[in-house]
């Protein structure tokens, strides 16, 4: 797609900004992407947030200069502003960030290919061929405040759009939240958290890496953009032989596991509970709803019990690692960021509708939930404790059944 300069700041300028933003919005991702962001969230590191780093890199340095040479001095700022917005305000924003944006359409195809997953395919060509512009109302049902132009999929693309949402849902268990993927990420994030705490306590020698190592330098000065961008996957992988010989027991054991591909064993707590408390075949809607509530209560109770146990157990490294997450494959209109964030479908002869209004399958999709525990293959007592806690809470919820 050719970028067309439009000094007047009109439609073509917005097109240019949206195209540029779609290309560079992820430039600030650190090593191991979202796994590093989780570390940053716990340690309150702004430079671990890819949006924050992207903003700095776009507004300064070579990206700004490249934009300036072709599109003027303020273009980089416009791109950064679009990326920083929390929800789409027009259809150009929706290209960059919405439930049907360029990013998802790209990574869903790419990740499926690179991981060898045969399901989760989408008909990209058909979706794009049936993409139209339409007007959707804004405001509440009682008081419409007008309408906004947005992307709309024609009626022929309805099933392809449905498949798109279902494909994203299937990518969670098969790729993004696969137990091996998340198990490796848990080892990585736990190692980095320990490294940061040792560095901050003046115990760099215990980490196993030298004082001038990029991770150490970033831990010492986490507000420094140059030290943040010096971190990438290769930096961490290259440090594993050193980390595997660290004085700190957590770092050396977990680094050795990653280096030798000996991940911790996984106990899927949520699936274990669901198998025992799930509604039986032929259950009434009320029974199904009650079953879901019991599963959720039991899951929360198990997580809290294991966290309490870990807070009193002084083992180093910790004998259990907890992994929990919730992801929405499609957010309904009242849970989302407005009409521009939705997937809109034009129904022949009857107007434009939200995807979930037309698809009972999409409307019925529930969040993907997980609670897993990772443990060492030789720590039978820790596994026994976890199973005991699970069983106790399953029995407790079973007793509540009318």
What pLDDT digit, counting tens, does each position of 12-37 carry? 889 999 999 999 999 999 999 999 99
**Contact by Cβ (8 Å): 114, 176:** no
Q: Where are the beta strands (DSSP E) in 248-381?
A: 265-268, 320-327, 344-347, 351-354, 368-375
Give the mean model confidence (pLDDT) for residues 197-208: 97
Q: Where are the beta strands (DSSP E) in 194-281?
A: 265-268
Residue 3 pLDDT greater than 50, yes or no: no
Q: Read off the pLDDT band of 8 (50, 70, 90).
A: very low
> What pLDDT sits at residue 44?
94
> What pLDDT sits at residue 7?
40
- CATH architecture, range 94-263: Orthogonal Bundle (1.10)
Tell me where in the chain the CATH 1.10.3210.10 domain(s) lie. 94-263
pLDDT digits (tens, 9 = 90+) for 272-316: 999 999 988 888 989 999 999 999 999 999 999 999 999 999 899
Mean pLDDT of the chain: 91
H or E, element range at 150: strand 144-153
CA distance 190 to 268: 19
- All residues at 6 or more sequence positions from 171 whose CB lies less than 8 Å from its CB, including other chains: 108, 111, 112, 117, 120
- All residues at 6 or more sequence positions from 401 whose CB lies less than 8 Å from its CB, including other chains: 290, 294
What is this structure's pTM? 0.89
């Amino acid at each position: 797609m050719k970028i067309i300069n439009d000094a007047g700041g009109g439609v073509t300028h917005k097109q240019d900004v949206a195209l540029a933003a779609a290309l560079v919005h992820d430039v600030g991702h650190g090593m191991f992407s979202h796994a590093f962001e989780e570390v940053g969230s716990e340690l309150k590191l702004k430079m671990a947030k890819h949006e924050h780093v992207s903003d700095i890199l776009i507004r300064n340095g070579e990206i700004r200069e490249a934009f300036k040479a072709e599109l003027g001095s303020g273009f980089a700022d416009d791109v950064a502003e679009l990326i920083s917005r929390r929800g789409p305000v027009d259809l150009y924003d929706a290209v960059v960030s919405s439930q049907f944006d360029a990013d998802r359409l790209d990574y869903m195809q790419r990740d499926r290919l690179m991981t060898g997953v045969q399901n989760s395919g989408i008909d990209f060509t058909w979706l794009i061929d049936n993409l139209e512009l339409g007007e959707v109302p804004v405001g509440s049902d009682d008081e419409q405040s007008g309408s906004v132009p947005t992307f709309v999929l024609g009626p022929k693309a309805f099933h392809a759009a449905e498949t798109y949402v279902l494909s994203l849902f299937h990518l969670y268990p098969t790729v993004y939240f696969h137990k091996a993927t998340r198990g490796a990420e848990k080892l990585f994030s736990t190692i980095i958290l320990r490294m940061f705490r040792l560095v901050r306590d003046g115990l760099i020698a215990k980490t196993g890496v030298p004082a001038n190592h990029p991770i150490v330098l970033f831990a010492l000065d986490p507000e420094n953009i140059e030290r943040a961008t010096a971190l990438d996957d290769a930096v961490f992988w290259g440090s594993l032989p050193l980390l595997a010989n660290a004085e700190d027991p957590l770092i050396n054991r977990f680094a050795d596991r990653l280096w030798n591909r000996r991940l911790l064993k996984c106990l899927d707590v949520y699936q274990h509970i669901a198998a025992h408390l799930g509604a039986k075949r032929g259950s009434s809607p009320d029974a199904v709803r009650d079953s879901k509530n019991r599963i959720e209560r039991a899951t929360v109770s198990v997580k809290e019990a294991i966290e309490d146990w870990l807070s009193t157990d002084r083992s180093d490294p910790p004998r259990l690692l907890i992994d929990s997450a919730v992801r929405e494959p499609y957010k309904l209109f009242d849970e989302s960021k407005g009409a521009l964030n939705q997937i809109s479908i034009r129904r022949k002869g009857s107007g434009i509708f939200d995807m979930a209004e037309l698809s009972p399958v999409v409307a019925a999709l529930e969040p993907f939930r997980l609670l897993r525990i990772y443990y060492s293959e030789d720590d039978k007592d820790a596994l026994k404790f976890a199973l005991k806690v699970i069983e106790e809470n399953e029995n407790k919820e079973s007793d509540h059944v009318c």
